[in-house]
Structure formats: C-alpha cells, structure tokens
C-alpha cells in the first residue's frame, strides 16, 4: 500500500515537471515573439537614409559627378522598408550605369545599377571605334545614346544576307550629323555617328564587314 502511494506521488511529480517545462517553453516563445514585434515596431518608426530618382531615368544612364544630383535626391524612409541592397549615399552611384528604367521617386537598390568597368570587363584590349550611317533607320531612328548596349549587323550588298557581327557592344558616344554629342534624354536630336568600345583584335573585322554593305544597329533592352 505504501509503495502504491509512493508511485502515485512520483507520477504526480513527473506530471508537475512536464507542466512546468511546457509552461516555461510557452513563456520563452511568447517572450521572443514580443521582442521581435517590439523590434519590428521600432524599426518601422525609425527612419534611415536612402536615394530616390529625382526624374525619370532611362536604362543605360551613365552616372557621373556632374549629373548625379540632377538624377537623384537623398531621402529618408521608414526602417521597415529598408532592405539589404538599399543605396544610402550619392557616392555609391558615381561611376555606375543604370540597369533598368526608373520612375520618379523610385527608391534605388543595388540591382538597379552596375559599375561601368564591369560592363567592359570581358574586353581584353578595349579601343574606341566609330560607325557612321547614312540614314537614321540604320540606327533605331537615331535614338541611340551613351550607355546603350547594341548589336551590330551588316546587310551584304552583293548577296543581300544579313549577318550579325557583334553583340552587346557598349556605346560610349552618340553624335549628330554636325559632330555634336547627343545626351540621353534628348529626343529631338538624331545620332548618326556611334563611338563603340570593342576589342582591338576585332577592329579589322569590323572595318571589313562594314565595307561589304549596309550597317544595321539594334538597341538591346534589359541587356544589363
């Protein structure tokens, strides 16, 4: 009889320990949840630095010390909206190229820009070469500008065949018929001369192919 009572007490003690353990676990979970909620609320109330587009910006815009303040403005956003990759300083943008079109007031993240040197990284011996066209229809109606990526093809005068000779070529300058550079965003002036960055070993091939017929230059969208 005495042993039975001791067994009952032991079982009761084990149940009490289990209840205490469960209660402790639940309390710990609630504590962590409340701390996370409090941190989230504080982060939302706290503001952090960010950069937003001051105007509409086209893909392929080269950002320099001279134009960065015309294109972007510093702002503050709730901490809850800040994510990894949020650009917080104008200095981070200088020397970059936009990889997408941006609407006014759009917050700028790292995936919206790429360092200019990264675009040209695969060219072993870069040189600047020029293409002159007789008709703006050969160069997308003359809308090409610095920072655009293009493909270049030639329609052979003797065979009529169209051959793509270069793909993903960087436009470093776009000039009108008077030799004046046309800026990105200028929709009034047509560019008929393109300065391109190519590898020195490809220069002879470019000149040879151009001599065979009519040059066609196409703008690549989303190529960054």
Unique residue bearing structure tokens 């032991």: 10
- The 3-state secondary structure of 90-141, one letter per residue: HHHCCCEEECCCECCCCECEHHHEEEHHHHCCCCCCEEEEEEECCCHHHHHH
The pLDDT profile of the chain, 224 residues, written as one tens digit per residue, is 544 545 544 555 555 556 666 566 555 656 556 566 556 555 556 888 999 999 999 999 999 999 999 999 999 988 776 788 999 999 999 999 999 999 999 999 999 999 999 999 999 999 999 999 999 999 999 999 999 999 999 999 999 999 999 999 999 999 999 999 999 889 899 999 999 999 999 999 999 999 999 999 999 998 89
Count helices and strands in the chain by DSSP H and E runs? 4, 9
Q: Which CATH class is domain 47-118?
A: alpha beta
Close Cβ partners of 196 (under 8 Å, ≥ 6 residues apart): 128, 129, 130, 131, 150, 152, 169, 170, 171, 172
pTM to 2 decimals? 0.74
SS3 helix, strand, coil % of the chain, rounded to 5? 35, 30, 35
Q: Are 89 and 64 in contact (CB under 8 A)?
A: no
Q: Which of 221, 163, 173 is nearest to 197 (CA)?
A: 173
């Amino acid at each position: 009889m005495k042993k039975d009572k001791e067994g009952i007490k032991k079982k009761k003690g084990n149940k009490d320990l289990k209840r205490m353990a469960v209660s402790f676990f639940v309390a710990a979970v609630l504590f962590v949840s409340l701390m996370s909620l409090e941190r989230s609320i504080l982060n939302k109330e706290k503001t952090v630095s960010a950069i937003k587009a001051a105007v509409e910006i086209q893909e392929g815009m080269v950002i320099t010390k001279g134009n960065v303040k015309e294109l972007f403005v510093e702002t503050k956003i709730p901490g809850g909206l800040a994510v990894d990759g949020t650009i917080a300083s104008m200095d981070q943008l200088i020397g970059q190229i936009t990889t997408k079109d941006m609407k006014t007031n759009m917050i700028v993240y790292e995936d919206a820009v790429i360092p200019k040197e990264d675009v040209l990284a695969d060219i072993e011996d870069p040189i600047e070469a020029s293409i002159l066209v007789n008709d703006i229809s050969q160069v997308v109606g003359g809308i090409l500008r610095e920072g655009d990526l293009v493909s270049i093809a030639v329609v052979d005068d003797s065979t009529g065949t169209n051959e793509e000779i270069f793909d993903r070529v960087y436009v470093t300058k776009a000039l009108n018929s008077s030799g004046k550079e046309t800026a990105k965003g200028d929709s009034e002036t047509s560019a008929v001369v393109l300065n391109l960055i190519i590898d020195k070993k490809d220069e002879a091939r470019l000149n040879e192919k151009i001599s065979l017929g009519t040059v066609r230059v196409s703008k690549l969208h989303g190529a960054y």
